[in-house]
Amino acid sequence: MSDHEISKAVVKRLPRYYRYLGDLMNAKVERISSNELSDLMNVTASQIRQDLNNFGGFGQQGYGYNVRYLYNEIGKILGLDKTYAMIIVGGGHLGQAIANYVKFEKRGFSIKGIFDINPELNGKLVRGIPIRMTDEMPGFLKENEIQIAALTLPKTGAEMVVPVLVENGVKAIWNFAHTDLHVPDDVVVENVHLSESLMQLSYDLNHRKV
């Protein structure tokens, strides 16, 4: 199956489909119609049919979608059929929250190291993973093939570590720092800007229906 024609907008919606299909699988549901999925997900059935048509026309009229098949296909598109080696740069609360989140590990994102500049954190274990000092990071990256780095440290620190990560082969950055990182074309960045999300909430709160 080729996926080159899947639009960015559809890709953005895939993780949500994946979550609902996973819940359905856990609830032992084998087939679901676009109308049922529409009720569940609060998306129009025609949107669902259009989106899922990208994975071949296997949702037949009056028959529905095969939940497990669709779940697996979407997983493959998202790259969840592989495993990834990941490090966390920034061993504060946010870094530790991510390191403790076992679901990521189950999905194939294996946390190999946590780094911080605070000597008080040196050697502290988070879910069995020791926090190392940031100056050990280049050596660590040379010895371990790491694809993904989560940046849970302040802006200035994040900007400083990016070149080190890139030089040492990291190809994907999950950026929680409040800055837009500059990376080469073959490195991808996904931003989680918490303060911008809180501003959206504040906007919505001030513009909600009363």
Residues that bind a second copy (CB under 8 A): 11-12, 14-16, 18-19, 41-42, 77-80, 82, 84, 92-94, 96-98, 100-101, 103-104, 107, 109, 147-148, 171-172, 174, 178, 180, 185-188, 190, 192-206, 208-210
Looking up tokens 């529409």, which residue turns up? 38
Q: For residues 158 and 151, what is the distance between their CA atoms, to the nearest angstrom?
A: 6
Which residue's CB is nearer to a second copy, number 142 or number 178?
A: 178
Looking up tokens 């989680």, which residue turns up? 192
Residue 200: phi, psi to the nearest 5?
A: -60, -40
Shortest distance, position 145 Cβ to a second copy, whole Å: 13
Shortest distance, position 17 Cβ to a second copy, whole Å: 10
Which residue's CB is nearer to a second copy, number 94 or number 117?
A: 94
Which residue's CB is nearer to a second copy, number 92 or number 138?
A: 92
Asked whether the CA dihedral 13, 74, 36, 59 is positive or negative, the reply is: positive
Q: Which residues contact 174 (CB under 8 A, 6 or more apart)?
A: 148, 149, 150, 151, 190, 192
Which residue's CB is nearer to a second copy, number 45 or number 94?
A: 94
Shortest distance, position 55 Cβ to a second copy, whole Å: 14
Which amino acid does the sequence have at 206? N
